[in-house]
Amino acid sequence: MPEEKSQNYSLFPGSRLVWFHDGSGVAIYSGYSGDTTFLNNKKPDIVYSEFPISSSNLAKADLIKYLNLGEESAKSVIQRLLSEKVLWAN
């Protein structure tokens, strides 16, 4: 699995992630499929941090920090973003 080997990611061309500032979650647009999906924040007192959309080489540790979900949950989310081709493993 490329995501297991890689420690760095980029947004897939055309993909977008939007962090909701009320802490409700993240909206994800896949530049590959054109689908929009959502991640509900199950800890609404913790607001996601927004990483720069222009990030073309984002370290896995930073992505986990931005998602602010705890390491196991963040890995699961990263797996999903990779499978939906929102993220690209460098």
Residues near other proteins (CB under 8 A) are: 14, 16, 18, 20-22, 24-27, 29, 31, 34, 36, 38, 40-41
Q: Quote the least distance from Cβ 49 to other proteins, whole Å.
A: 16
Is residue 87 within 8 Å of residue 10, measured between CB atoms?
Answer: yes
- Which tokens sit at 58? 């984002």
- Shortest distance, position 67 Cβ to other proteins, whole Å: 15
Closest Cα to residue 50, out of 84, 12, 18? Answer: 18
Which CB, 50 or 59, lies closer to other proteins?
A: 50
Quick one: which of 26, 4, 8 has its CA closest to 17? 26
- Exposure string of 52-64, with b = 16+ CB inside 10 Å and e = fewer, is eeebeebebeebb
Taking the least distance from each CB to other proteins, the nearer of 18 and 89 is 18
Token reading at 19:
């962090």
Q: How far is the CB of 52 from other proteins (least distance, A)?
A: 16
Query: Please, which residue, 27 or 89, has the CB nearer to other proteins?
Result: 27
Cβ proximity to other proteins, 40 vs 57, nearer residue: 40
